[in-house]
Amino acid sequence: MPSDALGSSFRDPSGFLFTRDGTLYRQVNPVYREHYDRLMASGLYAELTGAGLLVAHREVDQPPAGETPAYRILEPERIPFIAYPYEWCFSQLKDAALTTLRIQQRALGRGMSLKDASAYNIQFQRGRPLLIDTLSFETLREGEPWVAYRQFCTHFLAPLALMARRDVRLGSLLRVHIDGVPLDLASELLPWRTRLDFGLALHIHAHAATQRKYADKPIKPPRGRFSARALQGLIESLEATVRRLRWRPGGTEWAEYYRQTNYSDAAIRHKEELVARFVEDAQPQLVWDLGANTGRFGRLAADRGILTVASDIDPAAVEIAYLEARKRKDAWLLPLLSDLTNPSPAQGWAHDERMSWLARGPADMVLALALVHHLAISNNVPLERLADFFAAAGRTLVVEFVPKSDSQVQRLLATREDVFPDYRREAFEAAFARRFAIEAAERVRESERTLYRMRRL
Amino acid sequence: MRVTGWAFGSRVRAACLLLGGLALLFPPRAAAYLDPGSGSFILQILAAALLGAGVAIRMQWRKIKRWFRPSAKGENEPPADA
């Protein structure tokens, strides 16, 4: 494998991704020739790209990467921000699962099948789930079971069932288990009554039991035993099982946040005006709204056609943001789950398969609204370190300082000793001036809060 | 046949012996890069009849509905996203 191949692209011998002069290419290896030709000639590629289900590409005249021979070199449409399944809310994972099954249905209709069903192969592009791996298809092996069934269950069905039927926070198991949640673990953690749901009984509990029983036994089922109708039934059963899984936000910490806030209407409107003006002044192409809650302020950038990643620690807030974005067919807001006190690390093989959150930046602009007091007081992060982090995250920063006298900060201090003598506006400005040029500072009307626009030094 | 999560061990064993025996008669299939998992393959084979029957029942049901409501449209289209 050549050295410029992407760290996440090594498992499938069909081909790999590599970069050259800043452009991303996909090499199709000679071994995949038959399947690639079929994908293109059968009309499946045109059908899927036309429906917005598969990433579009063009064949380019580029030499292969390294010494390896290539059948084709493709230049796929670029995905501006890569997100991972452990950063998705419940409905994002569910929509990604249903998209994978819909693609499989269409592939079966044209004599092909998905040979993998990795959640990492799905990205949200223009607000909708998109399969980004062109080499995921193979000519249908008639009479054989679905080779990607296990992967679909571990990457999609098991985490969805755990989130819906046990606790939504169990989605984070995907971060620990890079090839999906083991089915024996899911089976053990799910409530007993999930055995009464036919789909979960079959695809999780019975599946885990057969895996346990036949682990490492080299059993090759004979051809012709699994009819086309059975395969169709399997996909329909998985789809029905996924559709039945539902989760409604409520009861998690900040889902009701905007109703509890201490802002007046005038203050909120003024803050929105200031954010919109700062965004227009900076003309960013990629915005990270950190601690975005349900994405109210990030939407000001997204509404201007700017890709805005709106991240929050609260699964309910991210769920609400996503459902709202989906309803509005918002192409530019990407809500994601992220705990800023412990952001996604670089992980997988050699720490190189999945990028850390910061490695996917820097953003052109970072929004840090009503955030600093949470990090500085609830998580004890010194102001200098906050400035260092934001300087690594983005080139321009829109940051709000909320003083101790504000009732929201008082709430954070209510249950603990005030060990933050430096948490003052002057100290905040001094700490951030080490890293940023402060270009604007505006007091939010009818509040004690100040909104800054800063440029990284 | 009803396959449930807790009471089909002996059926699995019998089917497995049968399939394992039959497998010897066939050449190994072309390699897939993903390990499909023996248990995952066996489960699909065991549930095949049931899954196929589900499709047949749904097709019949649609026919019956069409017979009663011949003007109904969109019966064969996949449902939209949840």
- Express each pLDDT in A72-99 by its tens digit: 999 999 999 999 999 999 999 999 999 9
Nearest CA in chain B to A205: B5
Phi, psi angle pair for A119, to nearest 5°: -65, -25
- Express each pLDDT in A236-285 by its tens digit: 999 999 999 999 987 555 556 555 567 788 999 999 999 999 999 999 99
Helix axes B38-68, B9-23, angle to 10 degrees: 110
pLDDT (tens place) for every residue of chain A, 457 residues total:
666 788 888 888 999 999 999 999 999 999 999 999 999 999 999 999 999 999 999 999 999 997 889 999 999 999 999 999 999 999 999 999 999 999 999 999 999 999 999 999 999 999 999 999 999 999 999 999 999 999 999 999 999 999 999 999 999 999 999 999 999 999 999 999 999 999 999 999 999 999 999 887 776 666 668 999 999 999 999 999 999 999 998 755 555 655 556 778 899 999 999 999 999 999 999 999 999 999 999 999 999 999 999 999 999 999 999 999 999 999 999 999 999 999 999 999 999 999 999 999 999 999 999 999 999 998 999 999 999 999 999 999 999 999 998 988 988 888 888 888 889 999 999 999 999 999 999 999 999 999 999 999 9
Q: Do B38 and A214 touch (CB under 8 A)?
A: yes
User: B3: pLDDT confidence band, cut at 50, 70 and 90?
Assistant: very low
- Within A144-274, strands assigned E span none
How confident is the prediction for chain B on average, in pLDDT?
Answer: 66
Are the beta carbons of A200 and A192 closer than 8 angstroms? no
Q: Do B54 and A217 touch (CB under 8 A)?
A: no
- Within A54-125, strands assigned E span 57-59, 72-76, 112-114, 122-125
- Express each pLDDT in A19-32 by its tens digit: 999 999 999 999 99
Nearest CA in chain A to B23: A222
Chain B nearest CA to A258, separation (Å): 27
**What was the pLDDT predicted at A209?**
96
Best interface-test mutation with B: which of A219, A232, A319 has the largest number of B CBs within 10 A? A219
Q: Do B40 and A221 touch (CB under 8 A)?
A: no
**What was the pLDDT predicted at B77?**
44
Are the beta carbons of A222 and B19 closer than 8 angstroms? yes
**What was the pLDDT predicted at B13?**
57
Are the beta carbons of A325 and A76 closer than 8 angstroms? no
pLDDT at B33 over 90: no
Which of B26, B34, B79 faces A222 most closely, judged by CB atoms? Answer: B26
Phi, psi angle pair for A158, to nearest 5°: -65, -50
Cβ-Cβ contacts under 8 Å, B52 against chain A: 227, 229-230, 232-233
Cβ-Cβ contacts under 8 Å, B25 against chain A: 222
* Angle of CA points A161, A166, A167, to nearest 5°: 105
* DSSP notation for A136-173: GEEE--TBS--TTHHHHIIIIIHHHHHHHHT-GGGGGH
Cα distances (angstroms) measured from residue B13 to each of A222, A224, A322, B47:
16, 20, 46, 14
Chain A nearest CA to B55, separation (Å): 5
pLDDT at B22 over 50: no
Are the beta carbons of A383 and A431 closer than 8 angstroms? yes
Question: What is the ipTM for the molecules in this complex?
Answer: 0.87
Cβ-Cβ contacts under 8 Å, A223 against chain B: 26, 29
Phi, psi angle pair for B48, to nearest 5°: -55, -45
Cβ-Cβ contacts under 8 Å, B14 against chain A: none
Cβ neighbour number for residue B2 with a 10 Å cutoff: 8
- What predicted TM-score, i.e. pTM, was given to this entire model? 0.90
* DSSP notation for A351-383: G-SB--TGGG--EEEEEE-S-HHIIIIIS---H
pLDDT at B24 over 70: no
Residue A278 CA to residue A289 CA, distance in Å, equals 13
